[in-house]
Amino acid sequence: MEKVQVPPYVNVHPAPAVLIGCGSLEAPNIITCAWFGTVASEPPMVSVSIRPSRFSHPLIVESGEYTVNLATRDQLEWVEYCGLKSGRDGNKFDALDLTAAPCAPLASAPMIEECFISLGCKVVQTAEVGTHTLFVGEVVSMWVAAESLRGNKRVNPRTREQITFLDGSYWTHIPIHEK
Confidence tier at 158 by pLDDT (50, 70, 90):
confident
The answer to the question of residue 86 being in a domain is yes
Rounded to an integer, the average pLDDT of 108-122 is: 97
The answer to the question of residue 2 being in a domain is no
Confidence tier at 7 by pLDDT (50, 70, 90):
confident
CB count within 10 Å of CB 107 equals: 12
Range of the domain at 110: 16-171
Residue 104 is predicted with a pLDDT of 97
Q: Evaluate the CA torsion angle 77, 80, 82, 86 in order and state its sign.
A: negative
Provide the phi-psi class of 79: left if phi over 0, else alpha when psi is between -120 and 50, else beta.
alpha
Q: Are the C-beta atoms of 118 and 111 separated by less than 8 Å?
A: yes
The answer to the question of residue 179 being in a domain is no
The answer to the question of residue 11 being in a domain is no
The answer to the question of residue 148 being in a domain is yes
Average pLDDT, the chain: 93
Task: Return the percentage of the chain with pLDDT > 70, whole number.
Answer: 98
The answer to the question of residue 21 being in a domain is yes
The answer to the question of residue 40 being in a domain is yes
Confidence tier at 159 by pLDDT (50, 70, 90):
low
Residue 167 is predicted with a pLDDT of 85
Q: Are the C-beta atoms of 99 and 114 separated by less than 8 Å?
A: yes
The answer to the question of residue 41 being in a domain is yes
State the Cα–Cα distance between residues 99 and 65, nearest whole angstrom. Answer: 18
> What's the CATH number where 95 sits?
2.30.110.10
Whose CA is closest to 141, among 121, 156, 164? 121
Q: Are the C-beta atoms of 83 and 36 separated by less than 8 Å?
A: no
Tell whether the model's pLDDT for residue 72 goes beyond 80. Answer: yes
Residue 82 is predicted with a pLDDT of 97
Rounded to an integer, the average pLDDT of 9-23 is: 88
Number of compact structural domains in the chain: 1
Quick check: helix, strand or coil at residue 59?
Answer: helix
